[in-house]
Structure 1
């Protein structure tokens, strides 16, 4: 994530230098205002734009060659045009505000950045400096203005804004935050997403170590302190897991990485933190389901029921009734097909109620609460003394948890099959995308060009049939569901 910080810093410095150059030009303009009544031709030598216009109508009376050139027009084509008509709709209020300041006498000089439409349909940003030119009874009738082209700086600012937005979006989609912490200092730089992950207001300022550790589960604090201690060797990347402080809200689980680098002789820790709560909860649910299934099998709490030849329940024990959330008395006289979903009802009607020999079938019955439960029904025909078929005896075992485990396993296997389609390089790129790395960072990490990263990224998204980073993360986490947590963390 530090590469991102360098990109952002570089763009900020470029924008600041551009602004410095523009303001240096404005100082020369101010001198000219004080000594030259008509700037037009004189300012062309410095490639500085000049206009004179009527205050009430903003109709242009005079423009110089530089202003016309910046708009891609001839001077004659701009004479008598209304400046307000050349301004993009959203920015016209800026001109109105500047003129209002001059009219009210609040300021003698007003600077404003305003975008104008060029003859080719493009937009050019000008930094205008408006001053009074002629007055009547203290009220300005005409205004003169000098202007410099700030389109390049506005483009740099927009590029910087987009870079930051994309960075924030990537971290948000992958639930990853980044941070830097210099040894010997008590506070650290955090990305916006990291503030969100730890539920801290970004406007509260830099976060101290004590403030961060307060958000951590007390049982994990000593481990975090040990992981972040020196010495770090070059290339030493440490990974650790921790949970949030349950006293501060819903419990969250995080996977963090930390390494060190040298910045101007200062040892700095750099790391990422990813919210892996969903994965931890899936693993926990899987383990819980497996445990419950083992307990269920060991206890062998089967339910039993007796059905007549039409499938109506004649006898039901407590265990059978509890599996569908009812009392035995509520089930007497109920047709078993009426308790089942359509597919299972058809199976019961065709296989179980037609005098078939003893067999076991998996069926889904509706629970009283509205959800489906899976039962393993083992049915045997009941015969009277004359060997006539008079009914069915059914024993039932609740296998809902086992079916959930099977479903999770199938989804994980399908996701792993998808990942096997990737080349080794595409898989490396995917791992870094899941960590929240941007293309430039991935390129530096894998020592390949950014265009190569973009090609790998496009190929792997097609192979995985994914249309967003969020979908990539979901496929990755689904594939990891059945993997041992220790293997993932190593």
Structure 2
């Protein structure tokens, strides 16, 4: 256990405070105790941030353990609080647990051995909670940096929570604009959104789809949406998911597919047709091409006409565009400089 552990001890009985300090030092070694014996000391201690755990009695001359718990949790939500008392009851213990109490230990010799274990468990659980909160914050920051929207919504698609990137996708200035907004807005039709939501509701796995979304007039985005149904005890089922703007990636993939198709088409041409296509794509005139390959202008025109038919293009501009799509095709093809007709 870390020797720099600081414990805020709230108890107006000096004998009981001594018992707590002795018991915990036997288990954990050197500890730093901040002993509180009045309301002013408690307020000053809570306003600071110099303790890792709070141990409080329930019945105190100037307050009670429930109020101590509430004051601590108000300013330090993740700080573990233990109640070590001889004057509480089962009802008080239940109420305290609902308010965030980590554990409740009875002040007597029989239960004294539980105190060290309760402290250890409370500190370990608090560390887990802080770690989870840190990871959640880090994840949200990463998602925001990557412009990936994270959301929670009802099974019908109504948003209940969203990160900054998601709010931006929705055109919301702040989280206060979120009520009434729905995941369905990203879909081209109610039928499409309904189908996606029904799949999530019926499955125990994540569902994913890609949609085209008009965020602004004339600004078409391609969004990848995935979601999964989440069940938490005592809460209605919800959907947690991500929305990623993949417009640039989708455009790149489309161009890659078009380039692959263009290369396949070009590979079906004869060597002479490939030569002519390279020259045409470079802006060569018929007469210039004819002189370069020592052929007639009419032969060049015939090759150009055949290229248009074979490549299924209707204009010179389309022919040049297709050649440009086939990235580096001229370097990849072994085209002879001269070829007999």
Q: TM-score, normalised by structure 2?
A: 0.48
Q: Greater strand share, 1 or 2? A: 1
